[in-house]
Structure 1
Amino acid sequence: MPANTGLTYLEMPVQWERYEPARGKYSRAYISGIISNIMRADLNSMRVQLRLGWHYPPKWAAELRHARFINQYGDVYRAPAASGSNLVNIVFNDEVRAAVASTISNLFADLSACSNVIESVAVSAGVHGEPSFPGPLYNRHANSYWAYDFSGKLGFMKAMERKYGGDIDAVNVSWGDRLSSFDEVIFFPGNASSNNVKARDFHEWYSGMLADTVVWQYTVIRRYFSGSIVVPFSTSSFLLTANDITGAMKNNLSGSSAVEQNGLMQSGRTASRCLAVLRSNALMAVIEAPVCFTNGAVRGSANAVVADAAADIRAYGFPVAAVYAGGDARIVAEEFITNRITALSYPYTTNMVQLREGIGAVTACFREILSNNAREAFSLTASWTATTNVMIEYVLRENQFQIIGITVSYRVGDGEWKPADIIYGHTNGLLASPYGVPHKLVVIPPEGSNTVFRITPDADAWTPISGYIPIPAPGTNTALK
């Protein structure tokens, strides 16, 4: 790896299934690969952000008692292992939480020798690590709420017992019910009650438990790590308003409201609730959200969280980080600076390197600096994704980053093809990205010129692809072709 890559942060995913394939048995090869990459980052003056990966659970964790989410129809939630959405019940299940806490403890012990290089840690609390339940569409059911496993039902019952001071008569008065004990306390979407109180109680608890999951994980991480803790939110988490929630309550969460039909309510994607709970617990975190800027963008636009998401986050007193979810790269960079957003991840690099000097330099969290003094790194973008007809996924395999289903190699002139040195990948939102965002891979080109990179899909039906990438001379800033 050259000493000057033009990149200042390495995002380092830690996939639970690969780190702890058997309970209490940790993969030395896997953690050695992570340590190696962290140390290589340090040698190149790069800092590291760990991305915890509870959304890639090992088989043994999924087999713990009541470890799977269950909806009101009795469906047990499962998703493909590599999807980033194969969740285990970290929200309601204390045994799953205990397993996660133990893994966090061991992870930081394993990384103690390179902990000074780790500047931030991102929590994982749902699909692709973002605080969320599974979505509403599952097994031909369109209004799935995921609180009906044993732990979830017990949790709701206990929460109502606390809220109503252990007085079942108070519940009956509020709900308009005739319950004889708290053992009978349950809510099913569509159940009517006086002034929709039952639905309100349920949603307040349901979304609150996601916030509780973030706070719990934050406190566990803080036992071992004193740097920045990042909470990554999805785009949609900033689109749900108080009026939207009120509208869904009017129909007792029956699935008929717009914010249920698009899944916001059922998946619990309510950033404001989590931010309020973090603030009330005096826990300072960096809040990350995807951002897309276009001329005249407004809240609720199809593929974007707009600029005022930054204001939403700051209103709670938190610093803002962001990942780029598309749009005009020049406008994005200018808006990032205007709105004092403190991070920029996976830009369309072919556009970013053509920005005027200074615009591409955005600070903190996981940064990319594309300045006049930086050697450029080759980046796969939309055209490559479309040409290969696959969504690119990055995982850490032993001592290097590789791509599932694709091999990346390079040669200089007519020389031998060699494996590319891959140093940066993004693990979130792949395979089934709701926004169709082309995620990128950054590889470090070798010294010299006339370098060709080859991307070879593993499937025989796909044609290998080659591309010529000019290497700019030191001190220049040549746009990538």
Structure 2
Amino acid sequence: MARRRQGQHRRHRGRREGRRAFHVLLVLFGLAACAGASAPRPADPPPARVEAAPVPGPAQWGVAGPLAEPYGSLRAAGAEATILELAWRDAQPAAGVWNEAYFAAQRSRIAALRAAGIAVVLNTGMHEPPAWALALPGARYVDQSGRVSSDEAGLNLVWNRELRPLAAAYLAKLFDELGTDFSYVRVGGGELGELTYPRTSGAADSYWAFDAAAQGVNPVPGWRPGRAAASGEAAVFLDWYLDALSDFQNWQIATVRRHFAGPVAVLYPDVGVPSGELAVAAQGGLAGSAPSERTRRVQAGQDHARHIAAITDAAVAAWCTWANNAAAVASVAGPAHARGLPVVGENSGDETSLADLEALAAHVRAYDLRLVIWVRYTDLVSGARGKASLADFTRVTRT
């Protein structure tokens, strides 16, 4: 969900126990058996009809949970929407095995929210893959020093395209089980569900394009970040590295679009890197010493302007994950408005004071945010000193 200050990161869920080698073999055997079956593979469903962005009106405000029932009290307090947070690992605990009880529980929750008049934003949870998928060959990102990404980074879906059908099957199952009546579907696919390369893995100078799949298409084979780049290798590498993340973004949008015709929201992490700062990093050979490299924003691929410019779907919204910060929301809203795309967002989950709430409300007006989610509903009702209260939320959102 929300973003942190200058490289600080939010809490993550605990991860799974160590993997066993024989489990990997079993998974690979099962996948091979499926691939060799004589039955023809079903054709992909046709793309869903793409709807135009909604006509601007009053901004919609919501809260993110865990939420307290009955949900009708949320509506009375001014909350009109919430985020349904899913996790792929919970939905598919083993290859080919679906947790039907999990889907049933989500359907029940969706029905209760809708009955209370709360719109549901779907967070697919594709960025939280199951252990069996993370154990597959090529499932993790690798940097120039051979460091391997952690579970938090999700699957290596940017480079290893052989893994994409697994994620596509999960998304298809999700919409088949839960339907398509969502106000937005959020995509990003990287750490914390955002469009990013790994941020909390590796070292400060890690560039995540050195697994076998990535190296098979590297335009400057043999060159590595931090080495001399007299022939412009760093700039060529960086363009390729960032364009690959744009391609992954568009694959996610197109895959969701096969099932969902409404607005798809791409999550962009904290502050985008201006093109001038990218040039400085390239001039320094991507050694990790440029200002935006020291915050890992270049390595994470946070070229919001490039990614937004690459969007070809008219029904996409740009989601700012640090919308109480002026620099962050401007880095998303500027390129989005230039493309005629709506902007939506949330506050940082680490910043939930009344001042943060008022800043967020000011940015709703200044940047024409269409949907705003206040992260950490529990802070609103905690009574904790220094935190915005539910009464504050009601007053500010109705002003």
TM-score range, shorter chain: 0.7 to 0.9
Task: State the alpha-carbon separation in 2 of the partners of residues 193 and 209 from structure 1.
Answer: 21
What are the within-5 Å matches in structure 2 for residues 338-349 of structure 1? 338-346=366-374
Q: Residue 400 of structure 1 aligns with which residue? A: none
Q: Residue 199 of structure 2 aligns with which residue? A: 135
Q: Does the 8 A contact of 1:47 with 1:119 survive in 2?
A: yes
Task: State the alpha-carbon separation in 1 of the partners of residues 204 and 283 from structure 2.
Answer: 18
Q: TM-score, normalised by structure 2?
A: 0.72
Deviations 1:22-60 (A, max 9, x none): 112110111111111111112112221110112211011
Match of 1:147 among 209, 220, 233: 209
Q: Is 2:258 the counterpart of 1:223?
A: yes
Task: State the alpha-carbon separation in 2 of the partners of residues 221 and 127 from structure 1.
Answer: 19
Task: State the alpha-carbon separation in 1 of the partners of residues 288 and 383 from structure 2.
Answer: 35
What are the within-5 Å matches in structure 2 for residues 320-359 of structure 1? 320-325=343-348, 326=351, 327-346=355-374
**Cα 1:91–1:30, aligned 2, differ >3 Å: closer, same or farther?**
same
1:330 deviates by 2.9
1:94 deviates by 1.6
Match of 1:122 among 179, 186, 198: 186
What are the within-5 Å matches in structure 2 for residues 241-280 of structure 1? 241-278=274-311
The code of the aligned residue for 2:186 comes to A
Deviations 1:92-124 (A, max 9, x none): 112221100111111111123xx33x2211013
What are the within-5 Å matches in structure 2 for residues 398-409 of structure 1? none
Q: Does the 8 A contact of 1:234 with 1:289 survive in 2?
A: yes
Q: TM-score, normalised by structure 1?
A: 0.61
Task: State the alpha-carbon separation in 1 of the partners of residues 200 and 71 from structure 2.
Answer: 47
1:89 deviates by 0.4
List gaps (5 residues or longer) in structure 1: 80-84, 161-174, 176-184, 300-304, 350-376, 387-437, 443-469, 471-475
Structure having greater relative contact order (Cα 8 Å, sep ≥ 6): 2
1:311 deviates by 2.8
**Cα 1:439–1:199, aligned 2, differ >3 Å: closer, same or farther?**
farther
Q: Is 2:320 the counterpart of 1:285?
A: no
1:320 deviates by 0.5
Q: Does the 8 A contact of 2:148 with 2:201 survive in 1?
A: no
Task: State the alpha-carbon separation in 2 of the partners of residues 75 and 229 from structure 1.
Answer: 33
**Cα 1:108–1:329, aligned 2, differ >3 Å: closer, same or farther?**
closer
Q: Secondary structure at the match of 1:345?
A: strand
What are the within-5 Å matches in structure 2 for residues 32-431 of structure 1? 32-79=104-151, 85-112=152-179, 115-116=180-181, 118-135=182-199, 138=202, 141-156=203-218, 160=219, 185-195=221-231, 197-236=232-271, 238=272, 240-278=273-311, 281-291=312-322, 299=327, 305-307=328-330, 309-325=332-348, 326=351, 327-346=355-374, 379-380=380-381, 383=384
Q: Does the 8 A contact of 1:31 with 1:110 survive in 2?
A: yes
Q: Residue 5 of structure 1 aligns with which residue? A: 74
Q: Does the 8 A contact of 1:19 with 1:27 survive in 2?
A: yes
Q: Does the 8 A contact of 2:188 with 2:196 survive in 1?
A: no
Q: Secondary structure at the match of 2:292?
A: helix
Task: State the alpha-carbon separation in 1 of the partners of residues 118 and 80 from structure 2.
Answer: 5
**Identity within the alignment, %:** 25
Task: State the alpha-carbon separation in 1 of the partners of residues 110 and 383 from structure 2.
Answer: 28
Task: State the alpha-carbon separation in 2 of the partners of residues 22 and 3 from structure 1.
Answer: 37
Task: State the alpha-carbon separation in 2 of the partners of residues 222 and 137 from structure 1.
Answer: 31
Higher strand share: 1
Q: Secondary structure at the match of 2:372?
A: coil
Deviations 1:419-462 (A, max 9, x none): xxxxxxxxxxxxxxxxxxx899x9xxxxxxxxxxxxxxxxxxxx
Task: State the alpha-carbon separation in 2 of the partners of residues 379 and 45 from structure 1.
Answer: 20
Q: Residue 14 of structure 1 aligns with which residue? A: 86
**Cα 1:439–1:254, aligned 2, differ >3 Å: closer, same or farther?**
farther
The code of the aligned residue for 1:5 comes to L
1:306 deviates by 4.8
**Cα 1:106–1:137, aligned 2, differ >3 Å: closer, same or farther?**
closer
Q: How many residues align?
A: 318
Task: State the alpha-carbon separation in 2 of the partners of residues 125 and 313 from structure 1.
Answer: 20
1:135 deviates by 2.3
Task: State the alpha-carbon separation in 1 of the partners of residues 395 and 315 from structure 2.
Answer: 37
Task: State the alpha-carbon separation in 1 of the partners of residues 396 and 361 from structure 2.
Answer: 19
The code of the aligned residue for 2:102 comes to Y
Higher helix share: 2
